[in-house]
Amino acid sequence: MKIERIEPIAVSLPMKKPIVMAGAAIARAENVLVRIAAEGGMTGWGEAAEAPTMTGETVESMVAAVNLMAPALIGREAEDIAGASAAMAGRMYGNSGAKAAIDMALHDLVARATGRPVYGLLGGRKRARIAILGVIGNGTLDGDLREAEAMKAGGFRSFKIKVGGADVKADAERTRALCELLGPELLLCSDANQGYSVANAIAYVRAVRGAGLTFFEQPVLANDVMGMAAIAAEADFRIGADESIHSLDDIRRHHEQKAAHGASLKTIKLGGMGGVMAAGRLCHELGMAINVSSKAGESSLACAAALHLAAALPSLDWGLTINSEGLSGDIVTRPIRIERGHATVPEGPGLGVEVDEALVARFRRDVPVRRVA
Ligand SMILES: [Mg+2]
């Protein structure tokens, strides 16, 4: 089944409320969809969110990157997804989000063509009902406590709060109060999204010692592995790496330097579903915990991909984070739903969600493109 056409489509999706994290507030989701058509009329869809501080990519750069890589893929056999990855790497350095959207569309296309779910291409399903790591994102003590209480009553068993602000003491107090509210049976982690200096991260770690935090994600800048190691040495809980993980080498380096004990895996960072599976297998081998996450703002399409990965990976100690319920406009006919703090991997062919082209047309926006090839 030869690849005939690869089309990047920029969309701007409305969100229910802005997502606030260290260094950014996201009010609308700016994503690129990729539609791949193969001979015989079969179609597959993929998606990547823009993430300038995580992958260095914007919607404009991803549209340009997809257009640049497409000629290297057209005419290839769609089933050879590893070969497509190699062809993309040969054509363009970096741009892991654009590559991820193409890779996701190929997985959807190939699985659809054979009438099976994508997890079947990834080695099979290890779990069907997946615990969601729910993000609490108010940034205030009262707001976070209220939201945590409501989510706990709604069936959530694992939670993430955002820290990394200027007031380390307030972050630590909020963390301790949430640990107390949730108790030792539930998982609580905090994520600084690179927001702290090493000194502030160490102050935070000392201030929350003994509180029962499960892990602390990306305290400092992505390239500061030694800083991460210094912070990890002070902690009585585990350190997670997110923005600093873009390759298998990054995972190995964090493990060797004792800079992280687990990693958050996203398709946009690792260049697609194949990259996440390889990263997850390596983490599992090294005894590192795994979290799978879609990017804030990604629709039910990328969230379905995250669910298939979460279903297929060898372990998933730190749960799955999906964000499509934060959108007030999704692009599939039956959006992915979280029920009682869990989501179920779709069983239909491909990614198991049907893209609604009328919704895509509604949220589509024009991106000026300079064709380079
Ligand atoms: Mg994170």
47 alpha carbon – ligand 1 mean position (Å): 19
162 alpha carbon – ligand 1 mean position (Å): 9
Going by pLDDT thresholds of 50, 70 and 90, the confidence category of residue 168 is very high
Q: What is the predicted pLDDT for the residue at 21?
A: 62
Q: What is the predicted pLDDT for the residue at 25?
A: 73
Instruction: Please check whether residue 370 lies inside any domain of the structure.
Output: no
34 alpha carbon – ligand 1 mean position (Å): 25
290 alpha carbon – ligand 1 mean position (Å): 12
64 alpha carbon – ligand 1 mean position (Å): 27
Instruction: Please check whether residue 368 lies inside any domain of the structure.
Output: no
237 alpha carbon – ligand 1 mean position (Å): 16
Q: Are residues 188 and 297 in the same domain?
A: yes
Q: What is the mean pLDDT of the chain?
A: 95
240 alpha carbon – ligand 1 mean position (Å): 8
Instruction: Please check whether residue 276 lies inside any domain of the structure.
Output: yes
Going by pLDDT thresholds of 50, 70 and 90, the confidence category of residue 17 is confident
Q: Are residues 143 and 94 in the same domain?
A: no
Question: What percent of the chain is modeled with pLDDT above 70?
Answer: 98
> Greater confidence, 349 or 371?
349
Q: Are residues 144 and 97 in the same domain?
A: no
Q: Are residues 153 and 109 in the same domain?
A: no
Going by pLDDT thresholds of 50, 70 and 90, the confidence category of residue 314 is very high
Instruction: Please check whether residue 203 lies inside any domain of the structure.
Output: yes
Q: Are residues 100 and 236 in the same domain?
A: no
Instruction: Please check whether residue 273 lies inside any domain of the structure.
Output: yes
- Provide the CATH number for the domain around residue 239: 3.20.20.120
pLDDT per position as a tens digit, 238-285: 999 999 999 999 999 999 999 999 999 999 999 999 999 999 999 999
pLDDT at 288 over 70: yes
Rounded to an integer, the average pLDDT of 16-37 is: 84
Going by pLDDT thresholds of 50, 70 and 90, the confidence category of residue 230 is very high
Q: Are residues 178 and 314 in the same domain?
A: yes
Q: Which of 44, 24, 42, 20 is nearest to 34 (CA)?
A: 44
Instruction: Please check whether residue 372 lies inside any domain of the structure.
Output: no
Q: Are residues 73 and 170 in the same domain?
A: no
What span, in angstroms and rounded, lies between the C-alpha atoms of 105 and 108? 5
Q: What is the predicted pLDDT for the residue at 140?
A: 84
Residue 14, amino acid: P
26-53 as b/e: b if 16+ CB within 10 A: beebbbbbbbbbbeeebbbbbbbbbbee
Rounded to an integer, the average pLDDT of 139-147 is: 89
Provide the domain count of the chain.
2
Residues 109 and 350 sit within 8 Å (Cβ to Cβ): yes
Q: What is the predicted pLDDT for the residue at 371?
A: 62
Residues 93 and 127 sit within 8 Å (Cβ to Cβ): no
321 alpha carbon – ligand 1 mean position (Å): 10
Domain region containing 203: 121-344
- Provide the CATH number for the domain around residue 94: 3.30.390.10
What span, in angstroms and rounded, lies between the C-alpha atoms of 74 and 220? 41
Instruction: Please check whether residue 371 lies inside any domain of the structure.
Output: no
